[in-house]
Structure 1
Amino acid sequence: MTNALTTLPEPIPEELIAAVAAQSTRSVSPDFPILVEALLKRYETAADGIILYGSCLRTGDLDEGIVDLYVLVDDYKNAYTHRYLSLLNAWLAPNVFYLEVSHQDRTLRAKYAVISTTDFEKGTQYWFHSYIWARFAQPSRLLYARDEKNRQRIFNALAQSVITFLASGGKTLENNAFTVADIWTRCLMLSYAAELRAEQETRARHLATLNLHDFTQLTKAAYPMLTEVFNYQPENDTYLCQNTAATRRRALRHWRLRRWQGRILSVLRLSKATLTFSDCLEYAAWKIERHTGVSVEITPMLRRHPVIWGFKVMWQLLRRGIIR
């Protein structure tokens, strides 16, 4: 009897981990630690880390927006006093909650997602859908880590997000030379289409331009893991895409599947959020109108049946061509 050989995954480049760590530990508004303190009171010894991402990270404006946070926990059973919440989290991570904190005559608001550190690591590398790795390939800040071991686990997962994001999106590109801004714009557009999000190319291009220095650094550091997709051209600082026709067809098929999977997951997560997120339907309707201009009425019947409401939203966006 012979033992099967196990192929170990290639190690993440140290340069990429260092770049992610440097970007993730930059200074933030002094308001953010107020929210971290409130979350640590809720999750006490369960919290492995707290990550900031999203629009409030970019603007620093906590008065007009809702802060986006991820709370990484060691175990779902340890994170909750109610067993149904741990079961929901294990079934379809993450769970999403709402937080308000009064501070110096102001109200700080946050939407935070709870996921285990293990599931977060799996999400950045193995999940088919882009829900985790597309978010955390983009700028984020590690606001809290339990200890150095967890800090390194989180940095590694963030670095893995960059690799998964660029490899999955890069395989869809034509065999041309692309700038870093072009690559990230195209990959961001793919990830937007995989969820019930309607950001246009101008939005993706804006983010790629706004974060060009960081994206350039991350792409260069991740390049040793992307040589099957790209060939770096130092003379003009571009990346020559070298996909085979079969690779590109398979990658485009995968992204079409992610789009349909994302619609189903979005409805399921919205339905689940009615059990965890106060005023989640109002928040969802506000965000949809903010990004698409589509006003979605929440009737009493739809409030009682949020799954139906979710499918109604998806149908309206499909009918208007906002999502395809």
Structure 2
Amino acid sequence: MISLRQSISAELATPVNPQINEFAEHIAQQYLGAAMAVLFYGSCLRSEKLEGEMLDFYVIVSNYDDAYEKPWMAKWNRRIPPNVFPYNFNGLAAKVAILSMDDFANLCKPEADNISVWARFSQPVRLVWRINEDTEQAIANAVASAVPTLLNAALAHSDREVGLLDLWESGFALTYGAELRAESKSRPGDVIKFDPERYIQIGKAGLYHCRIAAEIRGDKVHIVGDNRFRVEQELSRWPALRRRGKWLTILRLGKAAFTYAGGIDYLAWKINRHAGTNITIRPWQRKWPFIAAIFLLPKLLAKGAVK
């Protein structure tokens, strides 16, 4: 069987639409001296639809101080990572998150104090620009640790026997529940349906690296041996992960009011798209996006637009 590390390396290197590579190089040029890699992920990777969509990139930088001219930008990226910015290039639009290599690696590990990075990078991702081969290896190592982090969490919340795709779906449901997200209940299953074979192959390889011992028997995953301590250890983390994840969502939205031009419009677009709402942003809300977000959040919670 192909190892997890080999599978992740192959996935990262899978070619994408050349427009994506060109966009990634353009973004990297904005962080010369700091940019190490650009990763492409999310719904546009799965659907391969680019026009009229919001693409998702992560820029991995050597350190925050070298990435910004303004010290306060580096400070807030360090305190509440990542910073997120809008970019446009050759008719395409994207939101771009900035993380240091150290933060990226640490936030993919099981010890991470929030789920936002490993939840995203246990899904398909492409390395669409990198400064050198050493960086490519470091990115592959980090992404490879995200997969067992998610699977281990799902194992702790599952029966001793579970289907592999059901395990993935359970893991994604956990992560969506640990953030304020405008997603339907079917979203975790829909993510997997784009490429179930990918989740089977990488899932089988990833199980060997989980703290909770499990193995494949036929078409089922079986938890093996006495894993009570490891299961309880994982379960005990989740109340804090959920609380922290929701508070971080709010803090990041507040921070984006100062760093993300047009962020309030993007937020409304995202929620309307995923939750079926019809939120319209008024001129005063664009002028005062932080205050608008404070007033908007209770209404969204009451309507179930974010959970």
Q: TM-score, normalised by structure 1?
A: 0.86
Letter in structure 1 aligned against 2:155: G
SS, match of residue 39 in structure 1: helix
Q: Matched residues in 2 for 1:185 and 1:313: separation?
A: 30
Q: Matched residues in 2 for 1:62 and 1:14: separation?
A: 31
Q: Matched residues in 2 for 1:34 and 1:161: separation?
A: 27
Larger radius of gyration: 1
Question: 2:23: which partner in 1?
Answer: 35
- C-alpha change, 1:38 and 1:253, in structure 2 (3 Å) is same
Q: Does the CA-based 8 Å contact 2:212-2:227 persist in structure 1?
A: no
Determine if the alignment matches structure 1 residue 77 to structure 2 residue 65: yes
Determine if the alignment matches structure 1 residue 118 to structure 2 residue 102: yes
Question: 2:39: which partner in 1?
Answer: 51
Letter in structure 2 aligned against 1:281: I
Letter in structure 1 aligned against 2:118: W
Question: 1:205: which partner in 2?
Answer: 189
Q: Matched residues in 2 for 1:246 and 1:257: separation?
A: 18
Q: Does the CA-based 8 Å contact 1:101-1:109 persist in structure 2?
A: yes
Letter in structure 2 aligned against 1:240: H
Determine if the alignment matches structure 1 residue 162 to structure 2 residue 147: yes
Question: Equivalent residues in 2 for 1:1-324 (5 A)?
Answer: 15-102=3-90, 107-125=91-109, 126-175=111-160, 177-226=161-210, 228-233=212-217, 236-241=218-223, 251-299=234-282, 302-303=285-286, 306-323=289-306
Gaps of 5+ in 1: 1-12
- C-alpha change, 1:36 and 1:198, in structure 2 (3 Å) is closer
Question: By how many angstroms is 1:229 displaced?
Answer: 4.2
Q: Does the CA-based 8 Å contact 1:185-1:208 persist in structure 2?
A: yes
- Output one character per residue of 1:83-123: Cα deviation in whole Å (capped at 9) or x when no partner: 11111111111110111113xxxx11111001101110011
Question: By how many angstroms is 1:227 displaced?
Answer: 6.2
Q: Does the CA-based 8 Å contact 1:185-1:201 persist in structure 2?
A: no
- C-alpha change, 1:139 and 1:225, in structure 2 (3 Å) is same
Letter in structure 1 aligned against 2:178: A
Q: Does the CA-based 8 Å contact 2:264-2:286 persist in structure 1?
A: yes
Q: Matched residues in 1 for 2:306 and 2:242: separation?
A: 9
Q: Does the CA-based 8 Å contact 1:52-1:141 persist in structure 2?
A: yes
SS, match of residue 69 in structure 1: strand
Q: Does the CA-based 8 Å contact 1:289-1:295 persist in structure 2?
A: yes
Question: By how many angstroms is 1:273 displaced?
Answer: 1.1
Q: Matched residues in 1 for 2:25 and 2:188: separation?
A: 33
Q: Matched residues in 2 for 1:191 and 1:218: separation?
A: 18
SS, match of residue 28 in structure 2: helix
Q: Does the CA-based 8 Å contact 2:28-2:38 persist in structure 1?
A: no
- Output one character per residue of 1:117-137: Cα deviation in whole Å (capped at 9) or x when no partner: 111001101312110000000
Letter in structure 2 aligned against 1:147: N
How many matched pairs?
305
Letter in structure 2 aligned against 1:239: V
Percent of aligned pairs sharing the same letter: 30
Gaps of 5+ in 2: none
Q: Matched residues in 1 for 2:292 and 2:155: separation?
A: 35
Q: Matched residues in 2 for 1:298 and 1:246: separation?
A: 49
SS, match of residue 56 in structure 2: strand
Q: Does the CA-based 8 Å contact 1:197-1:291 persist in structure 2?
A: no
Q: Matched residues in 1 for 2:62 and 2:49: separation?
A: 30
Question: By how many angstroms is 1:274 displaced?
Answer: 1.8
Q: Indicate the RMSD between aligned Cα atoms, in angstroms.
A: 2.3
Q: Matched residues in 2 for 1:169 and 1:312: separation?
A: 35
- C-alpha change, 1:127 and 1:304, in structure 2 (3 Å) is farther
SS, match of residue 126 in structure 2: strand
Q: Which moved more, 1:245-254 or 1:271-280?
A: 245-254
Letter in structure 2 aligned against 1:284: L
Question: By how many angstroms is 1:44 displaced?
Answer: 1.4
SS, match of residue 239 in structure 1: strand
Q: TM-score, normalised by structure 2?
A: 0.91
